[in-house]
Amino acid sequence: MTEIDESTPPYLRIVAELRRRIASGELGPGDRVPSTRQIVREWGVAMATASRALTVLRQESLLRAVPGVGMVVCGSEPAASGRGGRADVRRGPAHAVTRDQVVRTAIGIADSEGLAGLSMRRIAADLDVPTMSLYRQVRGKEHLVLLMADAAFAAHRLPGTFPPGWRAHMELLCRLQWAIYCRHPWLAQVVSLTRPLMAPHAVAHTECALRALAGYGLDQQTQLHLVVALANHVRGTAVNLQQGAEAEQDTGLTDDEWMVAQADALGRLLAAGEFPHLARLSRSPIELDADSLFEFGLQRLLDGVEQLLDQ
């Protein structure tokens, strides 16, 4: 057995401790093991690290996934340990899964752990089916992510009617997109400016925005650039949502708590006198977060569109 010390990667230390609990009977057959979120809190690691630890134990056939329950201990005589072991080999006959089940499970993983925690093997473990059975429903991870994005947009339907006027129309559309990104922070990482998603429900947002600006005398290039600029403001601001969530998982601190912890370092930086404008700002209570940046940027962009239309 590998000796565990401070130089051992965190996920292997978690594996060793959970393995010990199973061997000692502290965790018996059918008992739930700590979830990824519980591991994050107990060991102070990132979500991806917690997921990797559970995956190793799953591969060793010490754990199995029970839909609606989570990871549980397999049995009183688990298969011999071995990192090269495959969890699928000892499963019973696979039950059929639908494409919708695969996509919904993948979205659930990505929502809680980010795209870093998403893999075909992890999805199969959560559904308790062999990994290869997923390929009957999706062609691969790239195809799966496309389906996930389409499902995320589909879950937030475009309204049947919009308020009159191009500006109210665009405000409602952009705020709907912001709500989708807030619900699914990973989504901003898969939406591309230069390689648009060929997802029908995402494309519908572009069509809706073009419709809002139609009939104002804009040439097609200008119209498309305005639509993409607005969509990219929403998506570009939303990229920070996943980064913030991962930073909070890694440090255990919210953004406000992190800023408080950095107060001394910031004070020393500003005391040198090289940044007088920042020093003046630091003495005033200012609200600055993803929501305020989204709203401020949206209004300034719409002001610019209005000026362009007036011309």
User: What's the pLDDT score for residue 114?
Assistant: 86
CA–CA gap between residue 50 and residue 62 (Å, rounded): 16
CA–CA gap between residue 232 and residue 98 (Å, rounded): 33
As a whole number, mean pLDDT of residues 26-39 equals 83
Spell out the residues 6+ positions from residue 128 whose beta carbon is closer than 8 angstroms to its own.
64, 65, 66, 67, 91, 95
pTM of the model: 0.67
CA–CA gap between residue 118 and residue 208 (Å, rounded): 31
User: What's the pLDDT score for residue 78?
Assistant: 36
Structural domains in the chain, sorted by start: 1-74 (1.10.10.10), 158-310 (1.10.357.10)
Indicate whether 92 pLDDT > 90. no
Indicate whether 69 pLDDT > 90. no
User: What's the pLDDT score for residue 251?
Assistant: 63
Q: Is the dihedral of CA 122, 127, 128, 131 positive or negative?
A: negative
Instruction: Say whether 35 sits in a helix, a strand or coil.
Output: coil
Tens of pLDDT, residues 209-238: 999 999 999 999 999 999 999 999 999 999
As a whole number, mean pLDDT of residues 73-101 equals 54
Give the residue with greater pLDDT, 211 vs 33.
Answer: 211
Residue from 242, 230, 224 nearest 290 by CA = 242
Q: Is the dihedral of CA 132, 134, 137, 141 positive or negative?
A: negative
Instruction: Say whether 71 sits in a helix, a strand or coil.
Output: strand
Tens of pLDDT, residues 233-266: 999 999 988 777 666 656 666 666 767 777 778 7
Q: What percent of the chain has pLDDT over 90?
A: 41
Indicate whether 4 pLDDT > 70. no
CA–CA gap between residue 204 and residue 199 (Å, rounded): 9
